[in-house]
Amino acid sequence: LVILAEKYDSYSYTTSSSSYSPGFGNMPGTWRTTTTTYQVYECGDLMMSKMDAKGNINWLQVAPKQQREVIELDSRTSSGFGLGFSSYFSGGFNWPFYAGFGVLPGNNSVNIIFNDHKKNAGVLQLGQKVKRIGYFRKSDCFAINLDPVTGKYTRELLFSNNDVPTAMPRLGAVLGNDLFMVGKEDRILGKTKIAIARLSLKK
């Protein structure tokens, strides 16, 4: 049995800012306060281990990573007149989208797919300096190829998210020897872009 896990934390926080608009003529000035709530997902080091039929751990490996995904839940603006304006509220699910990892198992290998900072391409062992990734549109999508017998693993670059809609490995679906993965790019101006990728094991 190969067990995969990652260091994980989830929390929310709220920020507030105020601005003053002076009045005109006999009209009084007004204060406007904007309150924004964020949901944070932190997905850290990846643990890989193997347990035999007797319950003994044959090997244990840890690959360093630091992913931080922040999602804006709610932004509200209220004025001195008691009026409130909400930008949007998302009662979403399946978060985080871009952090975490996906898995494509094979007969002789376990392939772990995740987004990471470009500067972490050579990071494999604990003790190496790790660059945290938070802006996933500028990330690279990597694969760790793990040998379930020996516990040895390598890391390789699959593609850059800078050129395509950002991959969501954690939400991928495995069908046979293929991992189907969706990429999504949200735009403030313009339509959202969607991409679908198929990753296949070598036969």
Residues 56-115 pLDDT 10s: 999 999 999 999 999 988 777 665 544 444 444 444 567 899 999 999 998 889 999 999
Cα–Cα dist 157/17, whole Å: 41
Cα–Cα dist 153/17, whole Å: 48
Cβ distance 169 to 161 under 8 Å?
Answer: no
93 in helix, strand or coil? coil
pLDDT tens digit string along 133-184?
A: 999 999 999 999 999 999 999 999 999 999 899 999 999 999 988 999 999 9
Q: Which of 139, 183, 186 is nearest to 161 (CA)?
A: 139
